[in-house]
Amino acid sequence: MEEHRDDIGARLGMWIFIFTEILLFGGLFLVYAVMRAGYSADFHQAAHHLNAFIGAVNTLVLLVSSATVAMSITAVQKGDSKKGVILLLVTLVCAGIFLVNKYFEWGHKIHIGLYPGSDLMLTLNHGSVMFFSLYFFMTGLHMLHLVIGAIVLTIAMVKVKSGAITPNKYVLLENGGLYWHLVDLIWIFLFPLLYLIT
């Protein structure tokens, strides 16, 4: 009974945490909307420097990872820990693909000097500076969340493999999956805001 109460507390704690994260990113999306309304022409021009194809690939990769993490939870609940581990591994590979794509995307921007505080940014108008500042901040914050999620899922995968997570005790994996869905949901909003609405 004590363990059951702990599980309920852990789930409730995760939902409260997710609510605060939604407030955080919701505030950032609101700032972005206000800035875009004020500097629509500058935002339109700056958005053309982003690679929509890479953004679309990363969207597809995260959607696949959301499916695999959900399937891994189901597999563990059904007692198939081997399948659960494989699906978690696929999720982590997807996370790696996302980070590699983002590394090349950011690397290109940094290589041409298009990053906050650079000499090139000092020559741009205020709206373009705001766009790239928000781009780096929001995608950087998202990447931080993705890395944290990948670490949590790695720990969960090790515990599934060792037998510490079982069909009767899987709240860590469940919360990790819930957090991962949040990371994916945030990107679903970031992708069209930054890459598609030009």
User: Which sequence spans correspond to the domains of the chain?
Assistant: 2-196
Whether pLDDT at 14 is above 60: yes
Q: What is the CATH architecture of 2-196?
A: Up-down Bundle (1.20)
Q: What is the pLDDT of residues 36-89, one digit of tens each?
A: 999 999 998 888 889 899 999 999 999 999 999 999 999 999 999 999 999 999
Among the residue ranges 1-10, 15-24, 75-84, 154-163, the one predicted with the least confidence is 1-10
Question: From CA 17, how far away is CA 189, in angstroms rounded?
Answer: 19
Whether pLDDT at 1 is above 60: no
Average of per-residue pLDDT values in the chain = 92
Question: From CA 90, how far away is CA 159, in angstroms rounded?
Answer: 16
Whether pLDDT at 178 is above 90: yes
Say what the pTM is.
0.90
Residues ≥6 apart with Cβ < 8 Å to 51: 105, 195
Structure-token match 């053309």, residue found: 48
Here the tokens at position 59 are 């969207």
Tell me the average pLDDT across 21-25: 94
Asked if 73 and 174 count as a contact pair (C-beta separation under 8 A), the reply is yes
Residues ≥6 apart with Cβ < 8 Å to 28: 134, 137, 138, 141
**Which residue type occupies 180?**
W
- C-alpha closest to that of 153 among 89, 77, 100, 96: 89
